[in-house]
Amino acid sequence: MNNIEDRLLEEKVRLSELSAPEELEARLRMALNTAVPRRKAKWHVKRSWTIAAAVLAVMLFAGNQYHALAYYGKMLLGFDEAVYDTLSELDKQGKGQDLNERFQLEDGTMLTINGLMSDENQFILYYTLSNPNGLRSYDGFDPSGIRGFQTDSHHILRGATSGPTGGVTETKGYVAFDPVSPLAKKLTLSYWYKLSESDQRQEGQITFTYRPDEAMPTKIKQSVNVTVNGQTITIGTITATPTMTLIEGTLQAENEQLNQAVLNGMDLIANGESVSLFGSSWQSQTGAFSLEYDALPENLQSLHLILKKTGDTVQIPVK
C-alpha cells in the first residue's frame, strides 16, 4: 500500500511542474483576443418569432380562403355559352364534379373531359375539343352512350359553344345522357368517329372516374294522380332534381279520354309561374310517355299541373 501511495505522490508532483510551450500559449491568447464575439441568443429568438408569425399568417389566410379556393376549383369555366341557364347557375354554385382527364382521339384531336353533373334524371358530361390544325366536323367525335356497373345510358341532348368548322381550333360543349347507377365508380364513354380518309364510321371508347357520392340529391319524387269522370288514376311519377323535372308514366289504351288529355300537353306551374317544357315523347305501342321540364325554383311553395285539353288541375304536394 505504501509503494502505491509513493507512486501517486510522485506523479502528482510531475504533472504540477508541466507547462505549455511559450509559442503555443501566445497563439492561443491571440486567437481568443481576435475571435468575433457571437450574437446574443435574443437575436435568434426574435428571428424565430418572426418566421413563426409569417408562417402563421399564411396558414390563417389559407384557412380563411379554403372554401373559396375549393368553390372556384369545382367550377366548370367557359361553358356559359354552351349550356342552358339552369346548368350555368348550378355551375356557379360549384355543383359539378371536376375531372380534367385528357384523351387523344383517332384524328389527333385532344379531348378533355372537364367535369360532369349527375342526378336521378340525367348525367351531363362537360368536354373540350382542341386541335391546333383545326377541328373537323362532328364526325370526329359523336358521343352515343355511357356504360358502367349497372349502367347503360343513352345520349339524349347535346350543346356546344361553336361548331368544329371554319378553322376553329377549340370548342367546349356538353352531352346529356340517361342517369347512371349510383354504384358505378368507372364509366366508359362510347362515341362514333370517321377518319378523313374513310367514309366508314367506327366506334371508340374512353374510360374515366366517377364519384357517385357527389351526385346531386332529388328534390321531389311522387306519383301523379289524375281524376277523369270522377275516377282517380295514377298516370306516372314526377321526379324533380337540380338539373330538370321529369314526368313519366304509361297510358292505358282503353282510357281514350285520359290519353287525349295527357297527350295534348300539361302545363307545369311552380309558385304561380309556368315552368319551361324542354321536350316530350310518347310510344304508341307501349303507351309510355315522358315530359321534360326545367328545374323547379329553390323556394318552392306550390306545384300543380294543368291539363291543356280539359283545363283540369292536378295538385302536387311539395312537402
**Would you state the CATH architecture of domain 220-315?**
Sandwich (2.60)
* 49-59 confidence digits (pLDDT tens): 555 555 455 44
Task: Give the sign of the dihedral formed by CA 104, CA 105, CA 106, CA 108.
Answer: negative
| CA 21 to each of CA 33, 34, 76, 167: distance values in angstroms, whole numbers, following the listed order | 19, 21, 82, 92
Name the fold adopted by 85-214: Immunoglobulin-like (2.60.40)
Which of 146, 147, 104 lies closest to 129, judged by CA? 104
Burial grade of 277 (CB within 10 A; 0-12, 13-18, 19 or more): middle
Q: % helix / strand / coil in the chain, to the nearest 5?
A: 25, 35, 35
Tell me, letter by letter, the H, E, C secondary structure of 182-210.
CCCCEEEEEEEECCCCCCCCEEEEEEEEC
Strand partners, 110: 104, 130
Which of 240, 210, 246, 188 lies closest to 117, judged by CA? 210
Question: How does residue 198 score in pLDDT terms, banded at 50, 70 and 90?
Answer: confident
User: Does this chain's domain 85-214 share its CATH topology with 220-315?
Assistant: yes
What are the domain boundaries of the chain? 37-74, 85-214, 220-315
| Residue with the three cell numbers 386541335 | 131
In the sheet that holds 220-228, the strands lie side by side as 220-228, 231-240, 245-250, 288-293, 277-282
The reported pTM is 0.69
* 120-166 confidence digits (pLDDT tens): 999 999 898 888 888 876 567 889 999 999 999 998 876 655 555 55
Low-confidence winner among 26-35, 39-48, 101-110 (lowest mean pLDDT): 39-48
Q: What's the pLDDT at 2?
A: 55
Burial grade of 91 (CB within 10 A; 0-12, 13-18, 19 or more): buried
Q: For residue 133, give the 3-state DSSP assignment.
A: coil
Looking at the chain, the whole-number percentage of residues with pLDDT higher than 90 is 29
